[in-house]
Amino acid sequence: MPDDAEAVCRVANAHDSEPLSPSELVRLWNTWSPTDPRQRFVVESDGAIVGVAHCRRRADMLPGLFFLNLFVNDDQAGQGIGTALVRVSEDFARESGGEKMLAFVPDHHPRGKRFAQSRGYSLSRTMFESVLDASAMPAGLIEQMVAKAESNGVRFTSLQELGDTEENRRRFYAVMHECDEDEPATQDVGRLSWEDHARQTYDSPWYRPNGAIVALVGEDWAGVHAIGPLDDSEVADMTTDFTGVRRQWRGLGIAQGLKAKGVLFARALGRSRIVTHNDSLNQPMLAVNQRLGFVARPGWLFMTKHLGVID
């Protein structure tokens, strides 16, 4: 992967509304456990990569489920490259025990959707990016959101204040894991294990202990919010990794308060843009983001196919 990451990014970023740098692509590749089945396929023309597919699964995903990302240069479309990449990816998944493929298709790329449908994939949901201009938020709105939760007995802190220890990281993860029970995508994909969560979070450039925000009710961890810069640059956008509130503490304004605290953290770093991701089926969190002023951007179609039949 390191040797051709730049070429792979060039193909993928032509269609991806969330472009990756080569270094970030390599980092993400390395967050997957070496024991998890994964394979990257490329097609070359005149020595240049013109098509790429990445097929993989984690051990903690639902049994038999594989992920697929596939991109082909526009000027090479219609030459059978995508069909060949789908075929070898599905073969690899089947050989690795795969029963179902979840393909991620840019929702602003209608040809990609038509292609996936022609190969037997059907739409299940949309995951899209939303962006907040924190500098444009109405005066006092952030303070109001925090104050509402605090008036209900909620106190906000962070792993930096509580101690960025493995014990507290595991407790943070436990709250995430519990909240994930109500995440629509979890029912279709599965939940991250502690090992995968730790590898993808604490070794990533976005993680900051003061961006791992915790809502407390008494001594109970009622909810958590994780936010940090997308990369190590001084101007990187902020990304929201997770926001969740445990069932017994919902209705107290905690989710809004957590996200408002995240905005204050972003401002403290001198950043104004905050990026988050929304599941089209997760209406409660969509409502929270809309109240904050997040604006939806192009996202991804989740398209699935059962792999029992070789076509």
CATH of the domain at 83: 3.40.630.30
Based on the fold, state whether residues 122 and 147 are members of the same structural domain.
no
Is 262 part of a structural domain of the chain? yes
Is 311 part of a structural domain of the chain? no
pLDDT of residue 236: 66
Based on the fold, state whether residues 218 and 269 are members of the same structural domain.
yes
pLDDT of residue 145: 94
Mean model confidence pLDDT for the chain: 88
Structural contact between residues 204 and 27, judged by C-beta atoms closer than 8 angstroms: yes
pTM here is 0.79
How many Å apart are CA 123 and CA 301, to the nearest integer?
7
Based on the fold, state whether residues 104 and 42 are members of the same structural domain.
yes
pLDDT per 10-residue tile (average), the chain, 311 residues? 76 76 79 86 90 91 93 87 96 96 88 92 87 85 94 97 97 92 73 84 88 96 93 73 93 94 91 84 83 85 84 53
pLDDT of residue 22: 80
Rg (CA), the chain: 20
pLDDT of residue 288: 86
Task: Return the closest-CA partner of residue 300 out of 16, 60, 25.
Answer: 16
- Count the domains in the chain: 2
Based on the fold, state whether residues 146 and 253 are members of the same structural domain.
yes
Based on the fold, state whether residues 116 and 53 are members of the same structural domain.
yes
Is 146 part of a structural domain of the chain? yes
Q: What is the pLDDT of residues 195-254, one digit of tens each?
A: 888 888 888 888 999 999 999 999 999 999 999 987 666 666 888 889 999 999 999 999
pLDDT of residue 47: 86
pLDDT of residue 2: 52
Is 199 part of a structural domain of the chain? yes
Structure tokens belonging to residue 229: 């810069």
Structural contact between residues 89 and 80, judged by C-beta atoms closer than 8 angstroms: no
Based on the fold, state whether residues 257 and 173 are members of the same structural domain.
yes
Based on the fold, state whether residues 143 and 254 are members of the same structural domain.
yes
Q: What is the DSSP string of 143-182?
A: HHHHHHHHHTTEEEEEHHHH---HHHHHHHHHHHHHHGGG
Based on the fold, state whether residues 150 and 68 are members of the same structural domain.
no
3-state secondary structure of 213: strand
Q: What is the DSSP string of 234-281?
A: TTPPEEEEEEEE-GGGTTSSHHHHHHHHHHHHHHHTT--EEEEEEETT
Structure tokens belonging to residue 186: 């979890």
Residue 248 is part of which domain span?
Answer: 138-292
Is 260 part of a structural domain of the chain? yes
pLDDT of residue 19: 73
Based on the fold, state whether residues 89 and 146 are members of the same structural domain.
no
Non-local CB neighbours of 10 within 8 Å, separated by 6+ positions: 49
pLDDT of residue 234: 64
